[in-house]
Amino acid sequence: MNKLDDIVSLCKRRGFIFQGSDVYGGMAGTWDFGPLGTSLKKNIMDAWWKFFVEDRTDMYGLDAAIIMNPRTWVASGHTATFADPLVECKECKSRFRADKIADNINESVTTEEFHATHTKCPVCGKENWGPIRKFNMMFSTHVGAVLPGDDKEVSEKNIAYLRPETAQGIFVNYKNVLDTFYPNLPFGIAQQGKAFRNEISPRDFILRDRECSQMEIEYFVHPDTWEENFEKMRALSHEFLENILGLPKEEIHELEVPEADRAHYSKRTIDFMFDYPNGEEELMGLAYRTDFDLSNIARESGKSMEYRDKQTGETFIPHVIEPSIGVERLILAVISNAYTEDEINGEKRIVLKLSENLAPFKFCVSPLLKNKPELVSKAKEVYDILKKKYSHVTWDDSGNIGKRYRKQDEIGTPKCIVIDFDTLEDNTVTIRDRDTTEQTRVNIANL
């Protein structure tokens, strides 16, 4: 079993992440976050929001609708260009994203280039491929009353899409924020929320899925200052990943994306890559979107997207720097980095070395013996004190104390607090450290 398999097993066993609709056999590319996974996800998203929004004076938060006017995706270019190269095996009829099953090709691969790789089908092992076809990844739906038998014109008039990115919700509200808050340039609008991409072949656990959460900022700047603001956001991204989330600097790599591989809206993109258990994969992106989106919105809507400088009176359409992170990719990076196997007194131990600001629980409180009412009563007293002070506190009185320690190690709880018979005498408790397993006595008043 490789490390990714171990992580998937731990996530299911301990209630971090489950296969979506598992009771019905699952649904590919969808995942449900259990109690601990929900807490970890919230802690990561809260850390991002605090770092990039709450601790700054030039950021504004937003929560836009998931289903938007379909003209949004015409203006953004997604209707025409948001597509992956799909290829079908003629033997077993399996379908794949061509650039993910063949080496040394990219998203713009042609049929001839793909066939020249002599790639065999991952399912049947044959080499008998059809032509490359472009597959638009947006999920479509119908808004309003569309009935079976309605003609094509009625059906198309009501078509809409689940958003493939949160960015367009920001761009369509740029003018609203401008007119209500009158911000000075540069300023940013941040949003966290769901995005949907109909991946041809979702894979690698939560790394590539069909429904994900995104955290994006559109940072509006003067066209002449995009390079310096790009570098500032680049440095901030490293600071967040390394100092706030604790990801190792040596496992984060920058990839300057060549023009042929950049998104249609980007003039420059850096992908922050991470050493996942299955290899180096994209963790987040930093893109210079120029004035592509605002200019297209102005053209499609007929409404001005210009900004007027308060000091000089100059009017122009701002350019945009965009840091974009998929939350699930970030969660997998955090768990992968934290997942550790070691030995304690000759016994194998799995421990999730999550930083205290991310761990689902900061403390676990336990009575040494659950059949001793005086210990249970005192332990509940300590639990109530910590719960009011720290919130993220759990209770565990199942099994012996060693098994409790192993369970808390696996879910990443930094400190275990045990109430024993000495506690009844001197009001001190045992605090056991997750990473070192060292134990110290501390007075309850000093917790």
Domain assignment present for residue 415? The answer is yes
Q: Which residues pair with 203 in a beta bridge?
A: 208
Contact 362, 331 (CB under 8 A): no
pLDDT on residue 284: 95
Q: Indicate if the pLDDT at residue 149 is higher than 90.
A: no
Q: What is the mean pLDDT of residues 249-264?
A: 88
Q: Indicate if the pLDDT at residue 178 is higher than 70.
A: yes
Task: Give the position of tokens 């761009």.
Answer: 171
Domain assignment present for residue 170? The answer is yes
| Single-letter amino acid, residue 161 | Y
Q: Indicate if 298 and 419 belong to the same structural domain.
A: no
Q: Indicate if 410 and 323 belong to the same structural domain.
A: no
Last residue of a domain, one of 335, 352, 375: 335
Q: Indicate if the pLDDT at residue 93 is higher than 50.
A: yes
Contact 419, 366 (CB under 8 A): yes
Measure the CA dihedral 350/353/359/364, to 10°: 60
Q: Indicate if 245 and 320 belong to the same structural domain.
A: yes
Structural domain boundaries enclosing 56: 3-70+165-335
pLDDT on residue 282: 93
Q: Per 3-state DSSP, what percentage of the chain is helix, strand, and coil (rounded to 5)?
A: 35, 30, 35
Instruction: Give the integer Cα–Cα distance in Å for 362 and 216.
Output: 28
Residue 298 contacts by C-beta under 8 Å, 6 or more apart in sequence?
304, 305, 317
pLDDT on residue 103: 86
Domain assignment present for residue 196? The answer is yes
Last residue of a domain, one of 284, 300, 335: 335
Model confidence, pTM? 0.88
- Grade residue 128 by pLDDT with cuts at 50, 70 and 90: very high
Q: What is the mean pLDDT of residues 82-96?
A: 87
| Comparison of pLDDT for 199 and 212, the residue scoring more | 212
> Do you know the residue count of the chain?
447
Q: Indicate if 270 and 230 belong to the same structural domain.
A: yes
pLDDT on residue 1: 46
Q: Tokens representing 278? A: 């299955």
Q: Tokens representing 292? A: 């592509």
Q: What is the CA 102 to chain-centroid distance, rounded?
A: 26
Q: Indicate if 243 and 316 belong to the same structural domain.
A: yes
Q: Tokens representing 295? A: 């200019």
CATH number of the domain enclosing 197: 3.30.930.10
Q: Indicate if 372 and 324 belong to the same structural domain.
A: no
Domain assignment present for residue 353? The answer is no
Residue 436 contacts by C-beta under 8 Å, 6 or more apart in sequence?
none
Q: Indicate if 317 and 387 belong to the same structural domain.
A: no
Q: Indicate if 433 and 284 belong to the same structural domain.
A: no
Domain assignment present for residue 155? The answer is no
Q: Indicate if 331 and 368 belong to the same structural domain.
A: no
Domain assignment present for residue 157? The answer is no
Domain assignment present for residue 128? The answer is no
Last residue of a domain, one of 268, 301, 335: 335
Q: Indicate if 258 and 394 belong to the same structural domain.
A: no
Q: Indicate if 365 and 329 belong to the same structural domain.
A: no
Q: Spell 406-415 as b/e; 16+ CB within 10 A means b.
A: bbbbbbbbbb
pLDDT on residue 221: 97
pLDDT on residue 141: 85
The total number of structural domains in the chain stands at 2
Q: What is the mean pLDDT of residues 166-194?
A: 95
Q: Tokens representing 8? A: 């998937």
Over the stretch 384-406, which tens digit does the pLDDT of each residue have? 999 999 889 999 999 899 999 99
Q: Tokens representing 439? A: 């134990």
Contact 332, 205 (CB under 8 A): yes
CATH number of the domain enclosing 441: 3.40.50.800
Over the stretch 301-346, which tens digit does the pLDDT of each residue have? 999 999 999 889 999 999 999 999 999 999 999 999 999 998 888 8
Q: Indicate if 372 and 327 belong to the same structural domain.
A: no
Instruction: Give the integer Cα–Cα distance in Å for 162 and 154.
Output: 19
Instruction: Give the integer Cα–Cα distance in Å for 118 and 99.
Output: 13
Domain assignment present for residue 137? The answer is no
